[in-house]
A and B are shown apart, each in its own frame.
Chain A
Amino acid sequence: MDKLLIIKNNKKVSRTAIPHLDFATLRQQLLACAAAGGQIVQFFAYEEQGVCKLLAVMRTDKLYIGGCDAPDIFASLTAESEKFHMFEREIGEQYGLKAEGHPWYKMVRYHANYSGKKDVFANNYNQDIPGNYPYFSVDGETVHEVAVGPVHAGIIEPGHFRFQCCGERVFHLEIQLGYQHRGAEKLLQSVPRKRLPIIAETIAGDTTIGHGLCQAQALEALAGLVVDEGAKIVRTIALELERIANHIGDLGALSIDVAFSPPAAYFGRIRGEYLNLTQILAGSRFGRGLVRAGGVTLVMGEEQKKLLSDKLAELTPEVEHVSELIFASPSVTGRFDNTGMVSRENAEKIGMVGYAGRASGLSYDARVSFPTECYGELPANSNDRTDGDVRSRATVRREEIMHSTRLIQSLLARKEEAKDYTPQDLQLAPLSLVVSINEAWRGEVSHCILTDGKGEILRYKVKDPSFHNWTGLALSLRDEGISDFPLCNKSFNLSYCGFDL
């Protein structure tokens, strides 16, 4: 890792300072970092003056960066470390750069590449999805296949799931997404700057604050804007409210997936109460329009603070009681225990993040490792149960709800008030790069922006935690009953559109 540059979260770096290695050296450096426990934050291709290049950002307790000119065909890193598997497929799909030796090389989202090179998957994009794409299959007399989606039985995003089963038992689950691909990255690189926050907030609508915050911080770093303490408090509270609302909704949904309906009804409503708290702050239940480069659009006055703290005081005991109802019920825990297991070893191999990673024993929390906003001054959470099953993922989320509540309460006690917001034109530093990382409710969200010599956005890369974790869901189904799929799925509750971009 000695040839990589150490950078900081949300700190602008001159692109000339980033080590530009040859491919073989970069490969060796990244594999060494991965072997030493490093995980990938970003690994993507971009094009500059007709030349395709690779850029990688890895994390241990620090962030490392390095790049190279991209060969059209390169020796796959996945062949030596699974951590790179989805990233290499994405690089192939986005820029037509082929990872030779990748063990399961196939499309990620199904779209024509940006560089105009020959398509590495031999797809004809005039045809509808799924194109030229062989599913992994298992042969045998008693083996059968179950195909589900893209349209699912419920109000849920589309995706295709292919199970290889023997009776009820699942050998293998393959998840093919891409149905939600809206071309978000391409838009972020090409539209007028005024549209950027609107797109960021809808990369994954349930992570409006998480993605909005990453973008705002990245732009602030490039434009040299300073955010006042009051705005930081509002942003931190909004991110934690987002976490609580989603965790509560999912705990309710987990409960109904094991046919215990009262908590689902209660938590369904209570989730709405937390969304309404975000509406008090932002004027929108999802926090749309709140976070902007430079601060927040609405200040949190005494009135809003009182509404928030009164409502939190009312809701917290209710949340505790309903949680207790779920976790004290033997019919629930009987289904949660030892179901949908992802071992720590596997979680590490595929770079699982967020509560799913923590439930498998990977303690990484970006709020602790790379703190932004107010997180540097706030206490970290710890997790009791990290066995990698549905019970662990549910328990981690229960713990996080209470932890986040305490964080919000301590922030509400602070006096600083945000300054009034004035929209401003941003002048981004030329030939620069910034990597932005935040712990959104699902886990590590990261945005990376590269500017060209004129300060225009050359490449805008987005990574949702779901990009890591969908593979975790597939692994959790190994050797599991197929009827436990809804339960396993909800225990992860991953984003389709965040993955599909």
Chain B
Amino acid sequence: MLQIIKNRMEQGYRTSKYPKEQINLYKRFRGLPQVNPKCDPVVAKRCAEACPQDCIDAANCKIDLGRCVFCGLCETLSNGKFATFSQNFEMGTASRDDLFTTGTLPELADHAKKHFKKLFGRSLQLRQISAGGCNGCEADTNVLNTPFFDLSRFGIQFVASPRHADGIHVTGPITKNMRAATITTFEAVPSPKVVIASGACAISGGPFYGSDEIVGDLNSIIPVDLFIPGCPPHPLTTLHALLKYFK
């Protein structure tokens, strides 16, 4: 017993004050990229060709955050002249098109589906579905339940049964073998319900785009309301997106 108390004292209070206070991530963290619109077209083209995810539109100097895995190769190759990755982790969007970006995203809180704020702003229960996720997205979503992030203080919880849920949070490129289970789980959630695509895989197939064993895009089988980019999304990216979209 004494040992338990001693440990409790040592651990102290660890919950972050986000969003009241900003968190500055280490400078190496690769968040929202800033694309240089005046970049030399030759350099932009070189980056686009080298991009493992083929997610760079060189002509319009845009990056598709829905497919980008934030590997940083374009920054390295262009020496920062085409793009630099900022430490800004706030990247959630309400539309797939907004993810094709130069580095400025619309204010997420201003999305059109205001009824979700009224319905779920004070209490949101989500059923998580991993449909081919590599356990990167899953692990960094799970971590929101640890004391540092403490998701439940915002009235948001991940629940076991779809019957208890207000929506689904999907990770992974929707493998063919998980397609039916994903749809069944979605159907088991009572309406009105919200659909969240988390991570490059659920948005675009991610590293597995083009594979004939995946659906590759959640939106093509179930309309998505909230897109959270990243490979995997940083826990703060998810937290920010949930708070801005629903609060």
Contact = CB atoms under 8 A, between A and B. Distances in A.
Given A150-B178, A297-B76, A195 B52 contact: yes
Interface string B189-218: 000000000000100001110111110000
Contacts of A202: 134, 136, 201, 206-208, 231
A276 B143 CA distance: 12
Most A CB within 10 A of own CB, among B26, B132, B161, B177: B177
Contacts of A269: 11, 14, 146-148
Interface of A: 109-111, 128-129, 150-151, 153-158, 178-184, 186-187, 191, 194-195, 197-199, 201-206, 208, 249, 262-263, 265-266, 268-269, 271-272, 275-276, 279-286, 288-289, 297-298, 307, 318, 321-322, 324-325, 328, 421, 423, 495-497, 500
A153 B161 contact: yes
Interface stretch (B56-64, B65-73, B93-101, B108-116): B65-73
A151 B129 contact: yes
A353 to B, nearest CB: 19
Given A129-B177, A179-B175, A202-B201, 10 more contacts: A154-B160, A179-B178, A182-B173, A198-B69, A203-B134, A205-B134, A272-B146, A284-B29, A286-B232, A423-B76
Most B CB within 10 A of own CB, among A109, A202, A497: A202
Interface on chain B toward A: helix, strand, loop, or mixed SS?
Answer: mixed
> B interface, how many residues as a size bin?
35 or more
Contacts of B43: none
A266 B185 CA distance: 32
Given A183-B212, A201-B207, A202-B231, A262 B8 contact: yes
B130 interface: yes
B18 to A, nearest CB: 14
Contacts of A204: 134-135
Given A179-B181, A180-B132, A288 B71 contact: yes
B158 interface: yes
A492 to B, nearest CB: 14
Contacts of B85: 283
A268 B147 contact: yes
B211 A183 contact: yes
Closest 7 CB pairs of A and B: A205-B136, A205-B134, A183-B213, A153-B160, A268-B146, A283-B28, A289-B71
A423 B160 contact: no
Nearest to B28: A283
Contacts, number: 204
Contacts of A283: 26, 28-30, 72, 85
A181 B181 CA distance: 14
Given A150-B181, A156-B138, A205-B137, A423 B77 contact: yes
Contact of A497 (B7, B28, B133, B206): B133
B177 A289 contact: no
Interface string B141-172: 11101111000000000101100000000001
Contact of A181 (B29, B71, B175): B175
B139 interface: yes
Interface in B220-241: 231-232, 234-235
B78 to A, nearest CB: 11
Contacts of B25: 279
A197 B73 CA distance: 12
B49 to A, nearest CB: 9
Given A154-B160, A198-B71, A206 B178 contact: no
B180 interface: yes
Given A195-B207, A321-B10, A182 B214 contact: yes
A102 to B, nearest CB: 23
B50 A423 contact: yes
B179 interface: yes
A182 B206 CA distance: 11
A262 B4 contact: yes
A199 B70 CA distance: 13
Contact of B208 (A187, A249, A286, A289): A187
B22 interface: no
Contacts of A194: 50-52
A153 B14 CA distance: 27
Contacts of A322: 7
A206 B132 contact: no
Contacts of A158: 129-131, 178, 181
A318 B10 contact: yes
A199 B128 CA distance: 23
A268 B211 contact: no
A265 B139 contact: no
Nearest to A130: B177
Contacts of B206: 202
A324 B76 CA distance: 44
A266 B11 contact: yes
Interface string B16-32: 00000000011011100
Contacts of B3: 324-325, 328
Contact of A205 (B53, B139, B208): B139
25 contacts: A128-B177, A128-B179, A153-B160, A154-B160, A155-B142, A158-B181, A179-B132, A179-B181, A180-B133, A180-B175, A180-B177, A183-B208, A183-B211, A199-B208, A202-B134, A202-B206, A202-B231, A204-B134, A265-B147, A268-B147, A280-B28, A286-B139, A288-B69, A497-B134, A500-B175
Given A283-B29, A318-B10, A497-B134, A423 B73 contact: yes
Contact of A279 (B28, B76, B129, B207): B28
Nearest to B69: A198
Nearest to A501: B213
B211 A186 contact: yes
B147 A288 contact: no
